[in-house]
Amino acid sequence: MKIALVGIGKIAVDQHVPVIAGSSDWDLAATVSRHGAVEGVEAFTDMGAMLEARSDIRVVSLCLPPVPRFDYAMQTLKAGRHVMLEKPPGATIAECHALEAAAREAGLSIYATWHSRHADMVAAAKVWLAEKVLRSLTVTWKEDVRRWHPGQAWIWEPGGLGVFDPGINALSIVTEILPDDIHVTHAELDVPENCQTPIGARIAFHHPKGAQVSAVFDWRQEGDQTWEIEAVTEAGTLKLSDGGAVMEVDGTRTGDAAPLGGEYPRLYDRMAQLVSKGGIDMDLRPMTLVTDALAIGRRHAVAAFFEGPQ
């Protein structure tokens, strides 16, 4: 199937473009971007112009920041094309519901992707936890924003999510592997004095069966990056590390994939399945947890953030 990629930034260049190129399901037929392009692929700077010129393109993958994504997605659906959404699927829960409703009405597929759910050992962790009594679950997600989001000023603006941009990856795993839904009960948010979104967060969750569930997110990590989830049960302890690429159960390690390894190919495999069957996949639980943390979180002003030396 011919697919268009909209928003040629870091994540598109690092993940989407090579994955599409290596897939037997997809042909990258066009891009839309104000600043980026892919060599050998027809490039547009206007979404409407692409949709009008390329009626042969059935699917559009949106890699834009979350705030402008709704308008592009709705324009795509109105043009009768299927939509794939980078995470998070939008800037608000309500607009995501509106997109799903529009897709259903038009008989089109829409997919809110959560790439970390497709890390190598997430499915195995879900199976292992399914019949266990959970006592506690802790998330530690710490990385260097300068390394992973260079020049992306939008993440510090309203709707950009700040540290929840990577933190939502952890929550997409948690909501996938836990057999019971959780919700936010308390949050402490560190917000740089020159930013609108947090650079650090500490969150507590309610678990319906009494387990202690918490998360720590931080974008100020230097050196080794930390993407870990530890679940303590009555039958042992499970630990996911490297963003879900590695699993340990009571010290026995399984998995040798690199972080992000295989995640995006599985997203595009899933999108191909949805389009072939006319399906919709719009799980908004990770985004709900983030928006609730932002809604009830107590904000603490911290030092201003600057990407380069001042």
Phi, psi dihedrals of residue 284, rounded to the nearest 5°: -105, 10
Residues 5, 63 contacting (CB under 8 angstroms): yes
Residues 96, 88 contacting (CB under 8 angstroms): no
Compute CA distances 112 → 19, 89, 279, 286, whole Å. 18, 5, 12, 11
Is 277 considered catalytic here?
no
Q: Where are the beta strands (DSSP E) in 65-112?
A: 82-85, 110-112
Nearest by Cα to 189 from 95, 290, 93: 290
For every residue of 149-205, DSSP letters joined together read STT-GGGGSTTS-TTHHHHHHHHHHHHHH-SS--EEEEEEEEEETT-SS-SEEEEEE
For every residue of 215-269, DSSP letters joined together read EEEESB--SS-EEEEEEEETTEEEEEEGGGTEEEETTEEE--PPTTTTHHHHHHH
> For the packed helices 93-106 and 66-78, what is the interaxial angle rounded to 10 degrees?
10
CA-CA distance, 232 to 250, in Å (whole number)? 10
- Which residue of the set 87, 126, 132, 277 is catalytic? 87
Residues noted as catalytic: 87
